[in-house]
Amino acid sequence: MSSYLKKFIPHLVVLVLFVIAALAYFSPVLQNKVIFQSDIAQYQGMAKQLKDYRAAGDEIYWTDAAFGGMPTYQLGAKYPHNYIKKLDLTLRFLPRPADYLFLYFIGLYILLLVLKLDYKLAFVGALAFGFSTYLIIILGVGHNAKAHAIAYMPLVLSGILLTFRGKYVWGFLVTCIAMALELVTNHFQMTYYLGLLVLCIGVAYLVDAFRKKMVPHYFKAVGVMLMAVILAIGLNATNILATKEYAATSTRGKTELTINADGTQKEIKEGLDYGYITEYSYGRLESLNLFIPRFMGGGSGDPLPDESATVDALLRTGKSQEELVAILQQVPVYWGDQRIVAAPAYVGAVVIFLAVLALFLVRGRLKWWIVSAFFLTLFLSWGRNFSFLTEFFIEYVPLYNKFRAVSSIQVIIELLIPILAVVGLHQLLNDFVKAETKKKAFYYTTGIVGGITVIFLLFKNSLFSFASPIDGDLASYYKLPFTFVDAMREDRAAIFTSDALRTLLFVSLAAGALFLYLKNKIKEVPLIAVLAILIVVDLVGVDRRYVNNDDFVKARVMEKPFQENDANLQIAKDDGYYRVIDATTDPFNSGAASYYHNALGGYHAAKPGRMQDLNEFYISQGNIGVLNMMNVKYIITQNNELGPIAQRNPYANGPVWLVENVIFAETADQEIMFLDSLDTKRTAIIHKDFKSQIPTASVVRDSMASIDMTKQKPEHIVYESSSTSPQLALFSEVYYPKGWNAYVDGKPATYFRANYVLRAMSIPAGNHKVEFKFEPAVIQNGSTLSLISSILVLLLLTGGLYFSYKKRKNISE
């Protein structure tokens, strides 16, 4: 066996261990079970029609099943020549969600190897990153795209660091492919946060370049990386262009309205509202759950302690059994600032201990870009609790106002701390740092980390209130004595104490192992093994509180997450074309109706903007005129005895109708306000911008005129019209001009917007065939760019391999 192959044996062993670790944690996947992910259940409903057509051999880019109709670009559409997606699928060969956990491991492992760490340390760092609690919990709730994007972050950093190191060829190729994989995940918020981290790296390297008088090399490296990113964008051209096109019309884009549904003035600005952006803001004190998992009670659904003072206090109130159960279901052990939180963003007591140690041992630019990015992302995660910085970023930093849930930027912290910890351990183990320096760093770290934990334990009641913002409201609502509030705080203090002691135990064990190493009582390999075991036991112990085997169900449950009921069966008997709204829940936050029907509602983070406006103004209020114009024939309601039932709406306008009156609106505000109490069957609201497209004669109703739908598929609708004079037709289809083309007798025709969201067309006199076809140019244009980019990458990769081969051959000679 050649020495070259021998070098790869340890890495192959590590890869096998990563596969074993991923499958061991999510072992039910080996029994053909899947994890029940609430967000993915909703996605299944939204994407059902898309998947059905795909199974029949057709890839559709428009679905009728959600929000009255929308592109499938954000619902898992597959594009021609998307070869980078094929590579991504190859890398994710394990069953989900074990595939994402494996990507976590392998991504950071490669990054740490690029940082020139020993494979054993890289293995430990990868485990610390992959088992970080936040990264596991997002798999539990179904934030797959987020997990996917996070997993490729270390690979992108690997390419960047290689390039800055002067490895231009491989730096370019790794950056290009890694960035392409990052973009293919389609979670631009995570990619944006990665960009902020890269900015910190760039500044650190720029300062270092000035100090070392290597500025030309710096800008050469930046140029190489920019070319790599441009090519990566090209590989994902279709998805990026389609997403950009749709985003402009979604709730993430700019609205034309200047008023809210309640009549108040709307603040017109690009991007999301400040309150919406900062709704999930991490509390300043809450950030300590990076070190002590249940510092603030854990997650919103965490249970009370076994010996609960709250339960004892409730039993003394004399409340009925039914009341006691209702109260206990609402008692929050979580006492942080966020409205709801699934789990703490715990990165591990041992990992934090090693990261603090690294602050004393690590020198140079790596330390400073990690530290600067750590504090930047920590402060930004506080959102409204650090309003000065948040407001600055929202107002002045491009695109920052496009994303909500600022607390999720802590994923960068989840990445940085394991890197710093393992690099610090590397410094402790090497011979370049003086023994005295190592000992001082160890004692300082033990004193700081252990000391803080002990202080928290001894003075917890003086330092922390353990009070939730809703304690008083809960006690007042159920008329509970103040002793009940005291009992809740006592329970939270007990939970805090339990996990603080747990943290102190792991810190003590890690410190003990390092102490023995510094005293030459144990060698390097046993030390690494002990720390690896401590890290895994620590993190997995917390992870299993929130994501475990109980979360898995049989595969068919997730394949069909919404079970049939009498209402669905009743509606299914009607083979006509119509829409359904599910009034048993919030229809604009549920994918259940979309699973079985063409739904007016749906579930998506970026809803069609005008449909959301219509919902806020009318649909949520049950405005029957608006439901009629959207061709809502069935309304699912809840019957106390029968359960969900389908109520037929006999007044639905149908798929198409002719109107006799037109009201022109000057503004978008008028467009939507005029819909109130409008007879949508007889009158249309048209914006003044489309006035020229309506011949005067078209509003003269021909009593004998008719128009009927004769064929309907998601991307192709056909109507037959007959009239003796031009007529104005309204279609119960969402107006989306970036793809939908109209034809009359096979020739292109113009159409326009009516009633704020619908399509309208002036139909000429006579008998005609009217068609709408969804022919998005963005798919064709993007696919061409992707194909060209793929060919370029293949040529460059071939050249890179040949260059490396020639270089190695020259060295050997």
Looking at per-residue pLDDT, the higher value among 648 and 470 belongs to 648
Instruction: Kindly report, residue by residue over 675-732, the tens digit of the pLDDT.
Output: 998 999 999 999 999 988 886 645 666 778 999 999 999 999 999 999 988 899 999 9
Contact of 32 with 552, CB cutoff 8 Å? no
pLDDT of residue 146: 94
Q: How far is CA 449 from the centre of its chain?
A: 33
pLDDT of residue 699: 61
Least confident residue range of 172-186, 393-407, 445-459: 393-407
pLDDT of residue 476: 84
Instruction: Kindly report, residue by residue over 68-126, the tens digit of the pLDDT.
Output: 999 999 998 999 999 999 999 999 999 989 999 999 999 999 999 999 999 999 999 99
What single-letter amino acid sits at 40? I
Distance CA 617, CA 622 (A): 10
Distance CA 597, CA 131 (A): 40
Q: Which pLDDT band, with edges at 50, 70 and 90, does 3 fall under?
A: low
Contact of 156 with 194, CB cutoff 8 Å? yes
Distance CA 752, CA 728 (A): 11
443-448 average pLDDT score: 96
pLDDT of residue 729: 94
User: In this structure, is the dihedral angle defined by the CA atoms of residues 433, 439, 442 and 447, taken in order, positive or negative?
Assistant: negative
Instruction: Kindly report, residue by residue over 729-755, the tens digit of the pLDDT.
Output: 999 999 999 999 999 999 999 999 999
Task: Assess whether pLDDT exceeds 80 at residue 519.
Answer: yes
pLDDT of residue 811: 59
Task: Assess whether pLDDT exceeds 70 at residue 338.
Answer: yes
Distance CA 102, CA 510 (A): 26
Instruction: Kindly report, residue by residue over 27-64, the tens digit of the pLDDT.
Output: 999 998 888 887 888 989 999 999 999 999 999 999 99
Which DSSP state fits 305? P
Looking at per-residue pLDDT, the higher value among 317 and 519 belongs to 519
Instruction: Kindly report, residue by residue over 195-226, the tens digit of the pLDDT.
Output: 999 999 999 999 999 999 999 999 999 999 99
Instruction: Kindly report, residue by residue over 132-141, the tens digit of the pLDDT.
Output: 999 999 998 8
CA distances from 165 to 173, 211, 221, 433 (A): 14, 16, 8, 23
- Give the CA angle between residues 536, 538, 542 to the nearest 5°: 110
pLDDT of residue 697: 46
DSSP letters for 60-90: -SEESSSTTSEESTTTT---TT-HHHHHHHH
Mean pLDDT of the chain: 91
Looking at per-residue pLDDT, the higher value among 91 and 315 belongs to 91
Q: How far is CA 665 from the centre of its chain?
A: 38
Looking at per-residue pLDDT, the higher value among 313 and 752 belongs to 752
pLDDT of residue 690: 93
331-353 average pLDDT score: 90
Instruction: Kindly report, residue by residue over 577-602, the tens digit of the pLDDT.
Output: 999 999 999 999 999 999 999 999 99
Nearest to 453 by CA among 402, 396, 498, 400: 498
Task: Assess whether pLDDT exceeds 90 at residue 2.
Answer: no
pTM, two decimal places: 0.89
Q: Which pLDDT band, with edges at 50, 70 and 90, does 481 fall under?
A: confident
Distance CA 3, CA 53 (A): 52
Which DSSP state fits 336? S
Least confident residue range of 366-375, 607-616, 793-802: 793-802
Looking at per-residue pLDDT, the higher value among 662 and 324 belongs to 662
Instruction: Kindly report, residue by residue over 406-440, the tens digit of the pLDDT.
Output: 999 999 999 999 999 999 999 999 988 898 999 99
